[in-house]
Amino acid sequence: MSAIDSIKRSAVLLALGLAAGPAFAQTIAITGGNVALGDGSEPIQGGTVIIRDGRIVAAGRDLAVPAGAQQVDAAGRWVTPGIVAGFSRVGLVEVDAVNATNDTSAGNSPFSAAIDVAPAINPRAAGVAVSRTGGVTRAVVAPETARSIFAGQGAIIDLGADMEPITRARAFQYVELGEAGADEAGGSRASAHVLFRNALREARDLGRTTGISGGGTASREPRASDQRDLPLEEVPEGRLLAAGAQRSEDVLLTRFDAVALVPVLQGRQRLLVHAERASDILQVLALKREFPNLRLVLVGATEGWTVAERIRAAAVPVIANALNDLPSSFEQLAATQSNVARMRSAGVDVSLGLINNEESRQIRLSTQYAGNLVALQKVPGAAGVAWGEALRMITSGPAEALGLGAELGSLKAGRRADVVIWDGDPLENGSAPVMVMIDGVQQPLQNHQTKLRDRYRNVSEGALPKAYER
Amino acid sequence: MVSNKGLLLPLLAALAACATTSTESKAPESASNGPARSKPATYSRDPFPSTYKVYPGVVTAITGATIFDGEGGRIENGTIVLADGVIRAVGGADTPIPDGATRIDGTGKWVTPGIIDVHSHLGDYPSPSVEAHQDGNEVTGPVRPEVWAEHSVWPQDPGFTRALTNGGVTSLQILPGSANLFGGRSVTLKNVPGRTMQQMKFPGAPYGLKMACGENPKRVYGGRNQMPASRMANVAVMRQTWARAQEYRRRWDKYEKDGGEMPARDLAMDTLRGVLDGDILVHNHCYRADEMANIIDMSKEFGYKVSTFHHAVEAYKVADLLKQNGICSALWADWWGFKMEAYDGINENIPFVHNAGACTIVHSDDPNGIQRLNQEAAKALAFGRKVGIQIPDEVAWTWLAINPARAIGVADKTGSLKPGKMADVVLWNGHPFSVYTRPAEVWIDGALMYDSADPSRRPVTDFELGQPGEGDVK
């Protein structure tokens, strides 16, 4: 057991000087580490990160440690921003196949676009703790579609060990416009597109009757950005839900669903669209001509490399799987692990997410996936990315794609102090955090798995059964 | 080295049995009505024989590489010589190189045996994963040992080529799925493209039998108000089936010894008889520790041996039991939580099982995971080291080489870089436990089947011809 004890000791050593609880009025300096900022730049050897009141003050080389700062020695270790999962369902699931614990979709709900994942997030889900132990500090959490092309509204969460997980509720609406969308729409992509347009029309009509909608097909000029950037909470849709508000009889959406799409139409809420096939991607990009205020983010885009120039020209960010290379469906025939780097070299803003079956538990694999993109640099004919760029794709990249780049995802001044100290190159197989900080607060790294590990490190039983050993 | 003493004996028996079946099967199919004293006519043990042929290769010498031999050995600045489809020599820089050999400078590179995946569904659940391709589970009854995975294999599955070029996988066992208690026979393939399954079939490899305990069978059949609907019924149905198999075996043993009227043929029972005879190896999908213990007792009750527990997410809780019984565990590095019986998965499962002295294997069960088995091993190794289990890199490579070879009964042919063995070899462009490393070249039986620098040595399946991205680096 001595090795575990020594790990515990080193964790304690790292924790020295870091008070438990909120880090307000506290200055922390992490010194001597290999510091990677998460902005695409390469790591800085012997760098310093200075944190005050839960925010990054500065990070870089040759920084003076402020007087009175509590110092954390990171010599021989790597320091990065916390990993941001660009697409996930973490916090919505305890055990995927146990329905009672799986809140990703609602096949029997009358609602679709109105669904908001925020109240379903459980910060104590085992997947949250395991992901945190793997260095993930924030995640984009999307609902899953069930009976409509609209899945509902996703959130940005933190993975802290507290009961306040929501960084930004209703950060985006999520819609399926590929094979899955066709299925939800009754059987064809054509139907999915009609349903999409109809839904936005119903939202527009609803907005018009109450005079708050400025969006819709008529507007040619992009709206001024003032209202678009308002936090959603400050633009109440209450009037649209008022008892007296009239709607046509000729509607498909519930009032709640139609109301939920008003901010999408107006460009106040991002629209994340899942599309993999090249032609589907182009159809998504074309929506902007019809609905100029849409703030689109493409999710998936496995065939994106074949139309990368068009995606760049549309200035639509992409959140992609890193390593799809199988024609696992007819919408992914052109799949290659070079997709991400090829889109990137074409100028597309690409980040990584987990758009697969691992999104509820295994977002900690983001680092491994990013590392594999670096590996491709050495494969003849393949396209890979530089190390710093790979880290960007799992830190500031997704934060920026979701409009939170000024808040989190990098070690630049002013960002939330989500900081991870790793025992090695964070993208390398088997590297692990020795310290995780969220908003400047040091996080516990124990979880169900680490407890099982410690119990069974020696499999033989003592005088009493294993149940007495902990 | 891990001890596999308990496992080796039945495997050798199995190999001996299989080696004789393809051409000189125990008796001809057509009942030649010879003299009364000749052996009674019986059935072929190998009605779908391998037509695999070794592809042309040249005498090749890789020099200056770090070599992991797959049995735990390591050679710095090593030389390996491949000739006539086999490994001719392995050693240090002074290893003689035949005149005219193609020389490859392996400086800064690593050489390992090709990776063997004991748990794949490639071909049975191929890409594209459309309904018409769902051929891995015969979900019409929980006892289906009569189905053979090889009859579902679609050789044009692009997944095979990804496993070769990105994963360095040279042999793989294709298993039926886990919906059934008895899922059917497995088939072991060499990872070469073929027009037919038989062209890929590993010559002389024994068959396996896929079994499953736990959630899957009881969910599938319980959902139809049919037995088994519980774990206790899982065991009851399995035991009843083994009892039938024993009876079938007695009848056929007697007939094949004494003659008389040929007993009725039952393809399901043929498979189970093969297991009881030690010719067919049992590969048992099982997650929970307590269930593995039940399966072990059941195998003793009916006189067969479990070769390998697959997935075995809780193997670390009974690693001592697995060692005592000489059973391998085929494991993921870090999968967990996708269903209840996977809830207790830990990152240290592989190193803990290895550390207990039990046979440990890294497996994929996944068309993506099979492309990164070296990385999965690397993660497991690193997590073990963090809690003080110091396993050298070259020993950890046994999880990908000799251990899986033993589990599927081909350890005398491949799975390590020993002279005379099949030249199934990967040259990696860096340390193969690094995330930044990929296969540079892959040989199967000494034939260069992948060369990262040569697009003409990159297989493209029929399915991908004329499609966007045809021939691309995947």
pLDDT digits (tens, 9 = 90+) for A64-75: 999 999 999 999
Are B381 and A430 within 8 A, CB to CB? yes
Q: What percent of chain B stands above pLDDT 70?
A: 92
Question: Does A416 map to a domain?
Answer: no
> Residue A135 above 60 pLDDT?
yes
Mean pLDDT for B276-303 is 98
pLDDT number for residue A250: 85
Break chain B into its structural domains and give their ranges.
5-23+37-49+115-411
CATH number, residue A16: 2.30.40.10
Residue A467 lies inside a defined structural domain of this protein = no
Topology of domain B5-23+37-49+115-411, per CATH?
TIM Barrel (3.20.20)
Report whether pLDDT(A218) > 70. Answer: no
Q: Which residues of A, range 248-287, sit inside 8 Å of B by Cβ?
A: 278
Same domain, A358 and A391: yes
- In chain B, whose CA is at the least distance from the CA of A179? B130
CB contact under 8 Å between A375 and B436, yes or no, is yes
Q: Give backbone dihedrals phi and psi of B121, rounded to 5 degrees, phi first.
A: -120, 15
Q: What is the structure's pLDDT at A236?
A: 56
What does the buried/exposed string (b/e) look like for A207-236 if buried means 16 or more CB atoms within 10 Å of the residue's CB? beebeebbbbeebeeeeeeeebeeebeebe
Same domain, A99 and A45: no
A367 domain residue, yes or no: yes
What's the mean pLDDT in A427-432?
97
Question: What pLDDT shows up at residue B23?
Answer: 38
Quick check: B205 and B410 in contact, CB under 8 A? yes
Residues A293 and A348 in one domain: yes
Query: Within chain A, how many helices (H) and strands (E) appear?
Result: 13, 16
> Residue A258 belongs to a domain with what CATH number?
3.20.20.140
Model-level ipTM above the cut of 0.85: yes
CA of B380: which chain A residue's CA is closest? A430
pLDDT reading at B15 higher than 80: no
Q: How far is B245 from chain A (nearest CA, A)?
A: 34
A88 lies in the same domain as A73: no
Confidence band (pLDDT; 50, 70, 90) for B309?
very high
Give residue-wise pLDDT tens across range B58-107: 999 999 999 999 999 999 999 999 999 999 999 999 999 999 999 999 99
Residues A332, A246, single domain; the answer is yes
Chain B residues in contact with A6 by the CB 8 A cut-off are 388
Same domain, A63 and A113: no
Both structure tokens of B349: 């499962």
Q: Do A7 and A126 fall into the same domain? A: no
pLDDT reading at A3 higher than 90: no
Per-residue pLDDT for B238 more than 50?
yes
When CB atoms are compared, the residue of A278, A336, A429 closest to B379 is: A429
Tell me the residue range of the domain where A257 lies: 83-407
Phi, psi of B218 (to 5 degrees): -70, -30
Whether A95 sits inside 8 A of B320 (CB atoms) is no
Q: Verify that A74 and A97 share a domain, yes or no.
A: no
Mean pLDDT of B410-415: 98
Using the CB atoms, write b or e for B214-250: b if 16+ within 10 Å: bbbbbebbbeeeebbbebebbbebbeebbeebbebbe
Please check the confidence at residue A404 and state whether its pLDDT lies above 60: yes
Tell whether B293 lies on the interface with A, counting CB pairs under 8 A: no
Q: What are phi and psi of A327, to 5 degrees?
A: -75, 65
What integer is the mean pLDDT of B434-457? 98
**Alpha-carbon gap, residue A316 to A156, rounded angstroms:** 19
Residue B32 has pLDDT above 50, yes or no: no
pLDDT-based confidence at A25, cuts 50/70/90? Answer: low
Stretch B390-403: mean pLDDT:
98
Give contacts of B 309-368 with A, CB under 8 A: 316-320, 334-340, 343-348, 352, 356, 367-368
Q: What is the mean pLDDT of chain B?
A: 93
From the list B334, B356, B388, the residue facing A2 with the nearest CB is B388
**Total tally of structural domains belonging to chain A:** 2
Are the Cβ atoms of A430 and B340 closer than 8 angstroms? Answer: no
Whether pLDDT at B321 is above 70: yes
Residue A361 within a domain: yes
**For B28-34, what is the mean pLDDT?**
45
Residue A187 is assigned to a structural domain of this protein: yes
Q: Does A8 touch chain B (CB under 8 A)?
A: no
Convert the pLDDT of each residue in A230-251 to its tens digit.
Answer: 445 455 566 777 767 778 888 8
